[in-house]
Amino acid sequence: MTRKLQLLLAVLAAFAVVAAACGGDDDGETSSDETTADETTDTTAEEGVDDTPDETEATDEADDSEAEGDASGEPIKIGALTSLTGNFTPWGIQVRDGMQLAVDEINADGGVGGRMLELVVTDDQSNAEEGVSGLERMIEDGVIAVGGSISSDVGLNTAQFAEDAEVPLFLVKAGSDAILTRDSRYTFRTCLPAAPSVAEPIAQYAVAEGLTKVGAIIADYGWGRSIEAAMQSSFDAVDGLEYQIEVAPVPEQDFTTYLRNLEEFGPELIVATGHPPGSGAITVQSADLGLDVQVTGAYTPFALVAGGAGDAAIDRYADFKCADFDTEDYQDLARRYLASSDNTFMEDDAVAGYGIVTVVAAAVEAVGDDPVAIAEWLHTQEFDLPGYAFPLSWTEWGEMAEAAPLFTVLGAGPAPEGVNEAGDWYPVTLIRPEPLTPYEPS
Which pLDDT tens digit goes with each residue over 39-65?
A: 333 333 333 333 333 434 434 443 443
Centroid of chain to Cα 424? 23
Q: What is the largest CA-CA distance in the chain?
A: 94
Which pLDDT tens digit goes with each residue over 254-277?
A: 999 999 999 999 999 999 999 988
More confident residue, 40 or 358: 358
The pLDDT of residue 34 is 37
Q: Is 407 helix (H, G, I), strand (E, B) or coil?
A: strand
State the chain's mean pLDDT as an integer.
86
Q: Is 255 helix (H, G, I), strand (E, B) or coil?
A: coil
Sequence-ordered list of residues with C-beta below 8 angstroms from that of 235, at least 6 positions apart, any chain: 199, 203, 206, 214, 241, 243
Q: Once rounded to an integer, what is the mean pLDDT over residues 414-421?
A: 97
Distance spanning both ends of the chain, measured CA to CA: 49
The pLDDT of residue 158 is 98
**22-39+72-194+327-403: which CATH architecture?**
3-Layer(aba) Sandwich (3.40)
Q: Is 341 helix (H, G, I), strand (E, B) or coil?
A: coil
Q: How far is it, in rounded angstroms, from Cα 300 to Cα 21?
A: 9
Among 389, 385, 387, 378, which Cα is nearest to 436's? 389
Q: Once rounded to an integer, what is the mean pLDDT over residues 281-309?
A: 93
Which pLDDT tens digit goes with each residue over 154-173?
A: 999 999 999 999 999 999 99
- Phi, psi values for residue 116, rounded to 5°: -80, 150
Sequence-ordered list of residues with C-beta below 8 angstroms from that of 51, at least 6 positions apart, any chain: none
Among 242, 182, 231, which Cα is nearest to 399's? 182
Q: If 0-12 CB within 10 Å is exposed, 13-18 middle and 19+ buried, where does residue 350 land?
A: buried
Which pLDDT tens digit goes with each residue over 93-114?
A: 999 999 999 999 999 999 999 9
Q: Once rounded to an integer, what is the mean pLDDT over residues 319-334?
A: 97
CB contact at 8 A, 162 and 146: yes
Domain 3-19+196-323+407-431, CATH number (from 3.40.50.2300, 3.50.50.60, 3.40.462.10, 1.10.3720.10):
3.40.50.2300
Q: Spell out the alpha helix ranges (H) of 266-413.
A: 279-288, 302-309, 328-340, 348-367, 371-378
- Phi, psi values for residue 384, rounded to 5°: -105, 95
> Residue ranges per domain, the chain?
3-19+196-323+407-431, 22-39+72-194+327-403
User: pTM for the whole thing?
Assistant: 0.82
